[in-house]
Structure 1
Amino acid sequence: MPAPRVSLIIPTQRRLDGLATAARSTFAQAGVDPAVLELVVVDNDQVPSAQALIQTLAAEAPFPVVYVHEPEPGVANARNAAMEKAQGAFIAFLDDDEEAPAGWLAALLAAQAKYDADVVFGPVRGRAPAGVGKHRAYLEWFFSRVGDGPREGVIDHYYGCGDSLIRRASLPDPKAPFSAIRNHIGGEDDLLFGGMQAKGARFAWAPDAWVWEDPVPSRLTLDYTIARAFAYGQGPSAHCAISSPPDRLGVARWMAIGVAQAGVYGLMAGLQWLVRSPRFAFTLDRAARGLGKTLWWGPFKIHFYGLRAPT
């Protein structure tokens, strides 16, 4: 049997309902021959908690399903473990809280071929359940990726790994491209794509390659999203700091921008909270991102990934 042309990868950790939805959405892809596909699911739990589900799902699948157990916690560890087993010349990433419409993969592949892209990104549409009322508009926006909107084509920037198609030959390491230094804080995809961009990689945007994102209920709170916004804000400063050689001027510039953003948007958020403005959460988010640009080093790092299950 020839190697698959596209490996679909879903990293997961103790999220079986979302995983089942994401996996089944890959089975229903239209406009792509199933004979060129495989699905690789990497289980980043200490115990192989997703194995039984994947065995069940494999019986439904129109193409091979590969289960990988990576017990060492960390988002980069999980992605690299899947990459090691994946055989495709192209890698399509879907998160375990996402659901892909039937035309998703075909749209990614069409954009890749049209623009000869090394990486193609698509939009993400956040979807909160009916019971979420407070801050609903903000929460759905937070978990969305509007990106470049309806304009298809080559772009000079990059987005996250979820809902992306990567040409394997363009990766700096085709088997383990994600850096372990981002295992616990995330941003391993930003680090990879930033390095690829510096070496001339071509990125494209495919507006028709959109997916739903259904965050777990525990993430649909301001406590989670504002902490995550703070961590996102740390990205530009941290990236400059770990460059080789370190970009100290870049760090200083981002920190100065962060101080201004935190001050201005923090004051605005306080005023909006007093008058119960519906824009309060959006403005607080911007203040948190500014503060993250300023407080980006060691003791202020927040770990979102790679946590072991409680014992």
Structure 2
Amino acid sequence: MARVTVMIPTQRRPDGLAVAARSVFGQVGVDFAELELVIVDNDQVPSAKPVADALRKGAPCPVIYVNEKRPGVAFARNAGMARASGDFIAFLDDDEEAPSGWLAALLAAQERYDADVVFGPVKARAPAHIDQHRDYLERFFSRIGPAQAGVIDYHYGCGDSLIRRSALPDPVAPFAVERNFIGGEDDLLFGHMGAAGKRFAWEPAAWVWEDPVPSRLNLGYTIQRAFAYGQGPSAHCAAAEPRDNLGVARWMLIGVGQAAVFGLVAAVKWAVRAKDRAEWLDRAARGLGKTFWWGPFKIQFYGRTA
């Protein structure tokens, strides 16, 4: 049984998958005898299998390939969990690359703070040809946290995280399948864990690179995604048991105010072609998301495998 499982969910990104996996093989300060890599291919055809087979040759740890044909990010993560044997699960996305000290830093922080989940920074890097809104786009795809390591009372997403398996509400299928196509399955899980008193920690030394898919490096994608991120607080209150109607109403009112104020600022910034105009449009979109969060306004980002 592995002490640590590194899991990489993937969907039709063979080059990114290879980079992410090889960065796992390049880790230092870890015992590869206690490590396994689980690749979860969320595709109706096993498109990532040739990459996994090639990676397995000469790998310093077992490489386990899982083909989850059912479309959806929660299905993919749960399929990987069902095959993983580790006491700790480290998540790396297929557009990320981990420096050599990444995993050792996550494990050291977990032990230092007796943490149930450890999160690290994500540093996005856009290709050289991206000029317009470059700073905004790199910030959008990055995760920026405190400068100092320590226990935190909030959470981030799954990419670049280490989870103590025994702390999960369900160690085999912890991710909510109702979030398959819209994302946020990790936010929902960590929200439940936080409410149950689980301990979160932040380790700035456990950072990774992220190379966003080129088709996403534009405002058409990021503003839609900002709208979806904005839906999170309202949707989380609506999904609570019992349903937090007061919380839903509060977040919707906050959203109205943000959409109005930030939208006005964005309009002015756009009119004068201000360098930071995309930032304000993003904030306005997140406000709108808090207000319009239910069924017909949900945007599908995941689960398209046909």
SS in 2 for 1:233: helix
SS in 1 for 2:28: coil
1:139-288 to structure 2, matched below 5 A, reads 139-148=137-146, 150-288=147-285
> How far 1:33 moved relative to its partner?
1.0
Which aligned segments of 4 or more residues in structure 1 are displaced greater than 6 angstroms?
Answer: none
> How far 1:60 moved relative to its partner?
3.2
Whole-Å separation in 2 of the counterparts to 1:151 and 1:249: 35
Gaps of 5+ in 2: none
> How far 1:159 moved relative to its partner?
0.3
CA deviation map 1:55-88 (0-9, x unaligned): 0011131000000000000000000000000000
SS in 1 for 2:212: coil
CA deviation map 1:66-122 (0-9, x unaligned): 000000000000000000000000000000000000000000000000000000000
CA deviation map 1:4-53 (0-9, x unaligned): 10000000000111101000000000000111100000000110000011
Whole-Å separation in 2 of the counterparts to 1:53 and 1:126: 24
Match of residue 105 from structure 2: 107
SS in 1 for 2:273: coil
Instruction: Tell me the matched-pair count.
Output: 306
Match of residue 292 from structure 1: 289
Task: Give the AA of the match of 1:69.
Answer: N
Task: Give the AA of the match of 2:218.
Answer: T
Whole-Å separation in 1 of the counterparts to 2:4 and 2:112: 17
Aligned-pair identity in percent equals 70
1:103-142 to structure 2, matched below 5 A, reads 103-142=101-140
SS in 2 for 1:212: strand
Match of residue 13 from structure 1: 11
RMSD between aligned residues: 0.5
Whole-Å separation in 1 of the counterparts to 2:304 and 2:260: 32
SS in 1 for 2:39: strand
TM-score, normalised via structure 2 length: 0.99
CA deviation map 1:212-235 (0-9, x unaligned): 000011000000000000000000
Gaps of 5+ in 1: none
Task: Give the AA of the match of 1:142.
Answer: F
> How far 1:188 moved relative to its partner?
0.2
